[in-house]
Amino acid sequence: MTDKARTSSQRLAIVEDMTIYNAAAQKNSLIEALGACDELELDLSAVAEIDTAGFQLLVLLKREALRRGKQARIVAHSAAVRELVDFYNMAAEFGDPMLIPAQEAR
């Protein structure tokens, strides 16, 4: 991809589960999307299930963005993603605000 095709920011929504069954294809999509922009916003609001393989993809994306001098932000967390990030105690490490929708806060 040439520099002319690169955009400054891009939003990517993951709609499949982030599990070991989808990890290889999702890894390629994430790295490709990161290469096409300077700032990647990752929307995980539709992710119903995430396991350790999916979590590793998030860590990989964050580290690869840092290595390339780019930004990768999670802008919407599903309940499953919030639960796993909390389980691994990585919210501060990721640095992305985790907002809880009002209907889930009750």
- Which token pair is 56? 């590793």
- Which token pair is 20? 């070991």
Q: How confident is the model over 13-42, as pLDDT tens digits?
A: 999 999 999 999 999 999 999 999 999 999
Kindly calculate the radius of gyration of the chain based on its CA atoms and give it in whole angstroms: 14
**pLDDT recorded at residue 38:** 96
Q: Is the pTM of this model over 0.85?
A: no
* Whole-angstrom distance, CA of residue 52 vs CA of residue 55: 5
Is the distance from CB of 78 to CB of 44 less than 8 angstroms?
A: yes
Cβ-based neighbours of 37, under 8 Å, separated by 6 or more: 6, 7, 8, 9, 10, 70
